[in-house]
Amino acid sequence: MVSAVQGLKSPLSSSFPSISRPRAATRNRSSARVQVTCSSSTPENTPLVIEKPQRNDAPPVTGGAYDFERATSSLAGKLLSSPKKVTIVRHGLSTWNLESRVQGSSNLSVLTETGIIQAEMCRAALSGMHFDQCFASPITRAKSFAEVIWEGREEPIIFLDSLKEAHLFHLEGLRNVDAKANYPEYTMWREEPVNFNVNGVYPIRNLWLTAREAWKEILLSPGENFLVVTHKSILRALICTALGLGPERFRAVDVNNGGISMFDINTRGEAMVQSLNMTAHMYTNHVYH
C-alpha cells in the first residue's frame, strides 16, 4: 500500500528491482524520477524509484490499427482520390425533445435556448479541427444547429435531403405517452422498429437506403475533412451502415444531443469508427483535434 510520495532524491536500493521503460537507442529522452515509499518496504523504508518518460516525448500508450482494409464494405461504391475524415454531430435539444414528442421529419420542432448553447459548445469544441465542407439536414432544428457551428467559415453549408430524419407519419407531433396509449403501432416503433410500417412503408428500412445515399454524396465531394450535422435516427443509420450493421440493429447505438462521432474512411470507401457519441465538451471546455 502506498503511504507517501516523497522528493526526487534517493537512488534505487539494491533491495528493489529497477522498473523502467525500454529506451530506444536512437532516441534522446529525458525522464523524471518519482520516489514512492511503500508500507511493505524494507525496515529502512527504502523508497522505490520509478523512471517515467516526460509526457511530450513518451511513446503512445495505446496502439492504433495498422490498417482497416476490408473491415467493412465500401460506402462510396468506388475508389476515392484520398482518405477522408467525417465528423458527425447530432443537433441540440429541441422543443419536441423537451416536450417528449415524436419528431420524425416534422419541421415544427426548433432548437431551445439550451439547444443553441449546445451548438455554441460544439463550435468551441471543434474549433481546433479543419473542415473542408459542412453537410446538414435542411430540417430547421439541424439547419440552425449547423449554422451556429459553421459561423464565420467561408464555405457555404450543403443541405442534403438524404440527411433528413425518418418520416414517422401520423405519430409525428404526438407526445410519446399519448402515442403509446392510442396507437398500437407505436409499440412496434419502440420495440421492433425494423418492422414498424404504415401502409406497407417501412421507415427504418428506408432509412438505411437513405443513409447509404448520404454517405456517397458526402464521400464523393471535394475535400478530405467533413462535418455532418443531422438527427438521431438517420445518425444511427449512418453509423450502422458504416459498420456493416443492418436495420435490425437500429437501437444498438445511441447518440445524445450534441454528441460527436468521428470516422476515418480509406480510399476504398471503408470506414473505421474512431469515436462514438463524445460529450466531454458538454461538461468541460474540451477541444478536439
Binding site residue list for substrate? 90-97, 141
End-to-end CA distance of the chain: 38
Q: Which residues pair with 37 in a beta bridge?
A: 4
Spatial separation of the C-alpha atoms in residues 85 and 97, rounded to whole Å:
29
Secondary structure element (H or E) that encloses residue 120, with its range: helix 113-125
Q: Is residue 281 among the annotated active site residues?
A: no
Spatial separation of the C-alpha atoms in residues 37 and 119, rounded to whole Å:
48
Q: Is residue 130 among the annotated active site residues?
A: no
* Residue carrying the nine cell digits 518519482: 34
Annotated binding site: 90-97, 141
Catalytic residue among 51, 113, 165, 167: 165
- For residue 80, how many other CB atoms are within 10 A of its CB? 18
Q: Is 17 exposed, middle or buried (0-12, 13-18, 19+ CB in 10 A)?
A: exposed
Q: How far is CA 143 from CA 17, 85, 149, 161, 207, in A?
A: 61, 21, 10, 12, 19
Catalytic residue among 44, 51, 91, 151: 91
- For residue 72, how many other CB atoms are within 10 A of its CB? 20
Q: Are 142 and 109 in contact (CB under 8 A)?
A: no
CA dihedral 233, 137, 271, 266 (to 10 degrees): 180
From the list 93, 217, 106, 92, the residue with the least C-alpha distance to 149 is 92
- Residues labelled as active-site residues: 91, 165
